Structure 1
Amino acid sequence: MVVAGRGARRKLSDSLREATVGELLAELGGLAPDSDEPGDIYGNGVVERLERRVAEVLGTEDAAFFPTGTMAQQIALRCWAARTGNPVVALHPMSHPERWEGGALSVVSGLRTVHPTGEPRQPTASEVAELPEPFGTLMLELPLRDAGFLLPTWEELSALVDAARDRDAVVHFDGARLWESTVHFGRSLPEIAALADSVYVSFYKSLGGLSGAALAGSASLVAESKVWRHRYGGQVFRQFPAALSALAGLERELPALPSYVAKARTVASALSSALAAAPEVPWFRVHPEVPHTHQFQVWLPYDADRLTEAGLRLAEETGTILFRRWSPDGPPGLAVTEIEVTRPGLTWTESDVATAVADFMSRL
């Protein structure tokens, strides 16, 4: 699919897997506003410039650059555990630390987790309020990616934060994809970030950077996190490629994200109409029906490998990519894929979606 994606003429988004080293180097060469700027050393220079820019965009006192979001969040949560005196973190079982970090919160940081809910949705304020044991930190993944890139409403989010405060807990946002949440919430990034005590954001998700993340919050928390960043091995000698690409993403992609969200909603609606009209589809799900961000899920009652193969054939034979990889989920014969709409997808019409769906189904 990577090869097919590179050769495709029409697609809803570019894949992070498709770029070559040569292409990435060529793009990086045009990102430095001043080629005579001294190279960064252990987080100064362009890295500090990025940290100041993130704090400005999110409206926080300060921000720290991290090589990975996994490191940033583990450090944030262990800092809060020390400050609150409680090592228990309340979070969703489908959140990134629980699913994709190898149990690092407990193995590396000595923390313990509790779950307000096991349902594939955001927790409610009452579930947080009724947790049977004390917790020091409430971590909310915004959006909750594995459940379908789901966000609460602004009122629900505010109530969740209030419920945590009533439990004498602090609030941390896993905002890897927070950048695109402004449309759904109807609020600015500083307004969203102001609800939390700390916020993690990613630079390669949504913004298209090479790598890296930031932890934003109060000046004292950020200073403490930098001490732990060094202890965790995150004080990398030179990081200017990641920093420059992150700054470029904030400049180029961040302003475009609302248009991606709007187009994703058009695409989701067109997909629903086209799949409902397809005789080969006995059942389908576009989730959520109105996407909360520029990403959403599609479910079909077919084997995942069969669906992936059909998508590959569509790309090779027509130059169009509609779906990429599918994964099995639930009972046998049910598969799910993620749709992302970015700059390449802005030109798609409802008719384009309908044609692509018909061409895809003909290859099942």
Structure 2
Amino acid sequence: MSGTISLFEAYNRTAYPLVGHGKRNIQVLKDVLSELDGKMESDVYGSGELIEDFQNKIAKFLGKEAAVFFPSGTMAQQIAMRIWSEKKGIKRVAYHPLCHLEIHEEEGLKHLHGIESLLLADKTRLIQLEDVLNMDTNISCLLLELPQREIGGELPSYEELEAISAFCREKGIILHLDGARLLEVLPYYEKSAEQICSLFDSVYISFYKGIGGIAGAILAGHEAFVKESVIWKRRHGGDLISLYPYVLSADHFFMQRQDRFQQYYEGAKELAGLYNDCQGTTTRPVVPVSNMFHIHFSLPKAKLEPVLVAVYEETGVGFITRLNHIDDETSYCEVNIGDQFASIPKEVIHQAFHVLNQKLQEALQEK
């Protein structure tokens, strides 16, 4: 059976999946709607009590004057870059080489808005204060992503963030936060969302990642910025006749999970420790700084996948849903801890890692 089933299929068949909040299926929305009055008025083209109340709630949570709900973070962040570029009269922004806008959006910033990018640091590390101090300051906006997902969810120190923020304000450079996973980093920094966002002129957060909603994002900042964002949202086709399925699920899971990220963070550190005890396996960071991290294996994807499927079938524990190819010798994956990890008996997890370690040792000996 192991040779005929994909890693994703095997994971979905396990009794004890380790990562995330659970399956993304229609039941997620049904659970949200089952608790609501069917006569509640929906939003209409971005207006109405339902969406406006939620926007005001999140603006207050982030410590910003106003906020607007978008169907996607891609739309929200490109619009933020457009507004700041026009305000400063400079169609150039700076960010990390592995920023979402650079590698996942088909050069949308360039082709839709005519905005060029200045890439800071290199692909292997975080943007540091020194990079910012030495960069070409002929930019409108500097975007920082917290955590930096593509290198394992790493984070700068809070003191470094403060220094970068102070430099940008001194030089008149707008500082924008890609906070898709903002709630995930609050336990590490031991700061509120408002405290972190106070360092930034604008901020985006996602509602389908750690929060676990269906889709959607918030873009927040001062009143004038948000009013202009609303106009650009209409220009981008983001004002659907109604966004309430996204808004309601975002609100529901935000309220349900906003206080659980310390639990997810502790779970990530525990899980990373178990991986680091296995042969040929290391995590990045070694000690996670949020509920996410990367796992690097000293086996190629083609050789490791059947090993993992065999462990899933033997133990009933699902470790990961997909593997990424690095080269002929190594592979890696991303892990995000959510509700599921704490629900699994510790003895089940430890036994599964014992089996995993044994099978990794066997596979490495055959390498």
TM-score by length of 1: 0.92
User: In structure 2, what is the equivalent of residue 338 of structure 1?
Assistant: 334
Residue 278 of structure 1 aligns with which residue?
none
| Structure 2 gap segments, 5+ residues each | 1-6
The match for 1:35 is 38
> Are 2:220 and 1:224 equivalent residues in the alignment?
no
Partners of 1:70 and 1:289 lie apart in 2 by 30
Partner of 1:96: 100
Q: Return the structure number with greater relative CO, CA threshold 8 A, min gap 6.
A: 2
Tell me which of 152, 159, 167 is aligned to 2:156: 152
Which residue identity is paired with 1:339? V
Residues of 2 paired with 1:9 and 1:27: CA distance? 21
Equivalent position of 1:202 in the other structure: 206
174, 185, 191: which is aligned to 1:187?
191
Match of 1:357 among 353, 356, 365: 353
Q: Deviations over 1:130-180 (max 9, x none)?
A: 113511100001111001111111001111212222332010000100111
Contact 2:93/2:142, CA 8 A, preserved across alignment? yes
Following TM superposition, by how much is the alpha carbon of 1:352 offset from its aligned partner in structure 2, in angstroms? 4.5
User: 1:61 and 2:58 equivalent?
Assistant: no
RMSD: 1.8
Aligned to 2:291: 294
Mapped contact 1:134–1:167 kept (Cα < 8 A)? no
Gaps of 5+ in 1: 276-280
1:358 alignment partner AA: H
Matches for 1:1-364 after TM superposition, within 5 Å: 1-14=7-20, 18-21=23-26, 23-32=27-36, 34-45=37-48, 46-273=50-277, 275=278, 281=279, 283-329=280-326, 331-348=327-344, 352-363=348-359, 364=363
Partner SS for 1:108? helix
Tell me how far 1:236 sits from its aligned partner: 0.5
Cα-to-partner distance string for 1:22-63 (whole Å, 9 max, x where unaligned): x2342232243x332112211223222221111121111110
Give the Cα–Cα distance (whole angstroms) in 2 for the partners of residues 31 and 332 of structure 1: 50
Question: What letter matches 2:316 in structure 1?
Answer: G
- My pick for the range that moved more, 64-73 or 260-269, is 260-269
Identical-pair percentage: 29
Label 1:258 to 1:15 Cα distance change in 2 as closer, same or farther (>3 A).
closer
**2:157 maps to amino acid:** T
Partner letter of residue 307 of structure 2? Answer: A
Q: Secondary structure at the match of 2:143?
A: strand
Question: Does the CA-based 8 Å contact 2:65-2:223 persist in structure 1?
Answer: yes
Opposite residue 43 of structure 2, the aligned amino acid is: D
TM superposition shift of 1:356: 1.9
Which residue type is aligned with residue 327 of structure 1?
N
Amino acid at match of 1:237: I
Instruction: Give the CA deviation at 1:227.
Output: 0.2
Deviation sequence 1:2-32 (CA, Å, 0-9, x none): 443343221222477x3333x2342232243
- 1:311 and 1:48 map into 2 onto residues whose CA distance is 46
Give the secondary structure class of the aligned counterpart of 1:234.
coil
The answer to whether the 8 A contact 2:204-2:218 is kept is yes
The 1-side partners of 2:180 and 2:83 are apart by 19
How high is the TM-score relative to the length of structure 2? 0.91
Could you tell me whether the CA contact under 8 Å between 1:295 and 1:339 is conserved in 2?
Answer: yes
Q: Against the structure 1 CA distance between its residues 130 and 179, is the aligned structure 2 distance closer, same or farther, given a 3 Å change threshold?
A: same
Moved over 6 A (4+): none
Matches of 1:347 and 1:68 in 2, distance apart?
A: 31
Cα distance in 2 between the residues matched to 1:272 and 1:345: 17
**CA contact under 8 A between 2:175 and 2:202: conserved in structure 1?**
yes
Query: Aligned AA for 2:17?
Result: K
Moved more, 141-150 or 125-134: 125-134
Describe the superposition over 1:325-346 as per-residue Cα deviations: whole angstroms up to 9, x where unpaired. 11012x4211111122111101
Counterpart CA distance in 1 for 2:87 and 2:323 is 42
Contact 2:21 2:339 in 1 (8 A): no
Deviates most, 331-340 or 69-78: 331-340
Aligned-residue offset at 1:127: 0.9
